[in-house]
Amino acid sequence: MPREDALIAELHYSELVRSTGDIQHAIHRGVPRSTARGWLKSSPSEVITVDVTDMDILRLQQELLTLRKRVARLFALLRLLVVLLKLSGFSLAGTRIPNGAGKHTLMRAIERSTAVLPLRIVMTVSSVTP
């Protein structure tokens, strides 16, 4: 979602620069000067979006049911994996993960997880200490 928010902000800044002809609005908000100047020279691109607020009730209900089914499948898979790990006696407690591809993969997974979970929970679940 942060990437989507950044794109929306950029779209608003580009419209502001084009309508006022002043790049300072965007520059003060962290947009590079060259990017803001480019907005003055180019015409706006057409943007097509699918917004939840534009859907009718039936379409929203269908999407809700699809998402609920997807979440139920993911929970079932997660439950199965947790049980399998517990039964196998798997534990990372006291295990040091050396530098390398494995550690990089783990750190990337932790970073991606913090987009939807608090870091404290991610660290507890993954048994990782700082």
> What integer pLDDT is reported at residue 130 of this predicted model?
66
Is the Cα torsion angle 21, 23, 29, 35 positive or negative in sign?
positive
What are the percentages of helix, strand and coil residues in the chain, rounded to 5?
70, 0, 30
Q: pLDDT category, 27, cuts 50, 70, 90?
A: confident
Query: Tens digits of per-residue pLDDT, 82-116?
Result: 899 889 988 777 777 778 888 888 888 888 888 88
State both tokens at 115. Answer: 């987009």
This prediction's pTM: 0.46
> What integer pLDDT is reported at residue 1 of this predicted model?
44
> What integer pLDDT is reported at residue 8 of this predicted model?
63
Spacing of C-alpha 26 from chain mean position: 24
> What integer pLDDT is reported at residue 79 of this predicted model?
92
When pLDDT is averaged across residues 65-72 and rounded to a whole number, the result is: 92
Question: How distant, in Å, are the alpha carbons of 10, 42, 58, 66, 82 from that of 45?
Answer: 12, 9, 31, 32, 47
Query: Tens digits of per-residue pLDDT, 29-61?
Result: 788 888 888 877 777 666 666 666 777 888 888
Of 48, 18, 53, 56, which is closest to residue 35 (Cα–Cα)? 18
Which amino acid makes up residue 46?
A: E
* CA distance linking residue 96 with residue 88, whole number of Å: 20
- DSSP letter at 128 equals -
